[in-house]
A and B are shown apart, each in its own frame.
Chain A
Amino acid sequence: MINNTNTTKQALENIDNELPGQGVETASSPLRVSNLAVAYHKKPVLSNVSFDVPEGQLIGILGPNGAGKSTLIKAVLGLVPKMHGEVEIFGRSYRETRRRIGYVPQRESVDWDFPTHALDVVMMGRYGHLGWFRRPGKKEKDLAAHCLEQVGMGDYMYRQISQLSGGQQQRVFLARALVQDADLYFMDEPFAGVDATTEKAIISLLEQLKRQGKTVLVVHHDLATVEEYFDHVLLLNGRLVAAGPTSEVFVEDTLQETYGGRIAMIGSRAGKGQV
């Protein structure tokens, strides 16, 4: 293992971790990626990506278009094939820990004309827990209703999903993620195309998850809100440019490196970058 000993704080942590009977790293970090590489039709999309994710934090995944942010999540979840690399979730393979993961895909990935209502969509989040033959029953229904209330969609339970606005659809997706009762969440651009109220609702939900000790990885595109929302960030540009606490990593030079000099920094050194 190659350790980062750049700061005293890190050095002390490492000493702490080297107690007898313990590994150098914490045994079950929610997500550990090693040397991940993904290619679509011979074009490398991600190469040599390695990182560890701390537990119970809100982590932002940032990068320009085509940087591989969605691909990273899909590769971790086994939705696209990896050319190379390993993924460990809570120390084990994805297949073993599936129950502990929640996934909120991009809104376009679904056909919103499907004949179903909001409550039904949320209940679908429990299908993974029901096994092969059991049908969703009252328990699942109540749980789904509760999660819809949590995202402020209690009044829309039986509304056909095509009649929902973009923000409402996003909230239904979030409720579906909540109902999965996961410890580790992956969200792909949850803030894309939603109104300000929905955005506030989403972020307060994320904070709530964090208070419950869950870990949330969010693909995000709005640099202006990164410092406000996220404790840690991953900067991607086909490869991992930097990873770490927002205050340390979300700085001018790493941002310039990630976005290729296409951003203008306004304000302080670690200030609000606008792409």
Chain B
Amino acid sequence: MATFWIILTAILVSSACAILGCFLILRRMALVGDAISHAVLPGIAIAFLWSGSRDSLWMLLGATVFGLLTVFFIQSLQAGGLSSDASIGIVFTALFAVGVILISLNAQHIDLDLDCVLFGEIAYVQWDTLTLWGADVGPRAVWMLGITLLVILVVVGLFYKQFKLCAFDPALAAACGIPVVLFHYALMGLVSMTSVASFESVGSILVVGMLIVPAAAAYLLTDQLGKMILYAVLIGAASSVGGYLMAYAMDASIAGCMVAVAGILFVLALLLSPKHGIVLRYVRRKYAAR
């Protein structure tokens, strides 16, 4: 049963991340995603202090705000003429530092292990269950992630064409009357929400890994956005299952293994993709040369 909850949690994380990750890498904002997943830490700490407990909803909302703040600061710095990489680097490290300080100073009030922030502890997910109206309805993480995934599906589904156009040609989108900035913040807000919902169970590394790697692998496998999203979700799920098995066999970090498996799948896609793979391109060239 534990296995089931763990894998379910991981699949929820990877699916949510895969969908968002496709848009992130197409907009060349992969590292902003990385930044957000770290920068939500102070939000989580503050929400903890505020609500005095692990009241998930407040934590989700409060920390999401920090993700949006991160984007806002990064944009402001860029608008001031600072290069994008420096803007990202300065903002997320500062916010992460604030988070660590808050947690360290309030260790007695905040039941957060700093290691947990990076790696999460997905193995314990099943123990922390939610009680609604006196009934045990399953692990809290699964609920939070499930709701997050639902929100993502609804928002991206409703506004698919806007997200797509903003990613492909923001100038035309603006000229068409689409509020590009709004959708930018919407995307980043969803990334933020996902980071927060995931961090406790899987930590930042897995979130960033699942945002970027499956989507990148899918990018190499297809020429259509719709299919790319689908493949990313599938690859994410495969990484989750494969990673769990690997972690079980090696007695190692589950989150780490999941990212490692995602990496392996990415390399496979890089080499063997029918359309863009290195190996097949090489073979085709040799064949054509004859």
Contact = CB atoms under 8 A, between A and B. Distances in A.
A and B touch in the complex (CB under 8 A): yes
Interface of A: 41, 77-79, 95, 98, 101, 103, 105, 109-111, 114-117, 120-121, 124-125, 127-128, 130, 132-133, 135-136, 160, 176
Contacts of A136: 161
A130 B161 contact: yes
Contacts of B174: 77-79
Nearest to B224: A115
B158 A133 contact: yes
A135 B175 contact: no
22 contacts: A77-B175, A79-B171, A79-B175, A98-B175, A98-B177, A105-B169, A105-B171, A109-B169, A110-B169, A111-B28, A114-B225, A115-B225, A116-B225, A117-B223, A120-B224, A124-B164, A124-B169, A125-B172, A127-B165, A127-B176, A128-B175, A128-B176
A163 to B, nearest CB: 9
Contacts of B123: none
B61 interface: no
B78 interface: no
Interface residues of B, number: 28
B26 A160 contact: no
B8 interface: no
Nearest to B164: A124
A124 B173 CA distance: 9
Contacts of B224: 115-117, 120
Nearest to A103: B175
A128 B177 contact: yes
Contacts of A128: 175-178
B262 to A, nearest CB: 19
Interface of B: 26, 28, 81, 158-162, 164-165, 167-169, 171-178, 219, 222-225, 227-228
B111 to A, nearest CB: 42
A114 B175 contact: no
Contacts of B161: 124, 127, 130, 135-136
A120 B169 CA distance: 13
A124 B165 contact: yes
A115 B171 contact: no
A105 B167 CA distance: 15
A197 to B, nearest CB: 25
Contacts of A109: 169, 171
B223 A160 contact: yes
A135 B158 CA distance: 9
Nearest to B176: A128
A268 B138 CA distance: 86
Nearest to B173: A127
Contacts of A78: 174
A272 to B, nearest CB: 33
A10 B57 CA distance: 70
The CB with the most chain B CB atoms within 10 A, among A115, A121, A160, A176, is that of A115
A236 B93 CA distance: 46
A176 B223 CA distance: 19
B84 to A, nearest CB: 16
A115 B172 contact: no
Contacts of B172: 103, 105, 124-125, 176
Given A115-B225, A127-B173, 6 more contacts: A41-B81, A78-B174, A114-B168, A124-B169, A125-B172, A127-B162
B142 to A, nearest CB: 30
Nearest to A101: B175
A132 to B, nearest CB: 7
A73 to B, nearest CB: 10
A115 B222 contact: yes
Contacts of A79: 171, 174-175
Contact of A114 (B26, B159, B173, B227): B26
B285 to A, nearest CB: 16
A128 B171 CA distance: 12
Contact of A111 (B81, B168, B173): B168
Contacts of B81: 41
7 nearest interchain CB pairs?
A128-B176, A160-B223, A103-B175, A115-B223, A98-B177, A114-B168, A105-B171
A127 B166 CA distance: 11
A176 B168 CA distance: 13
A128 B166 CA distance: 12
Contacts of B175: 77, 79, 98, 101, 103, 128
Contacts of A41: 81
A63 to B, nearest CB: 21
Contact of A116 (B168, B173, B177): B168
A83 to B, nearest CB: 16
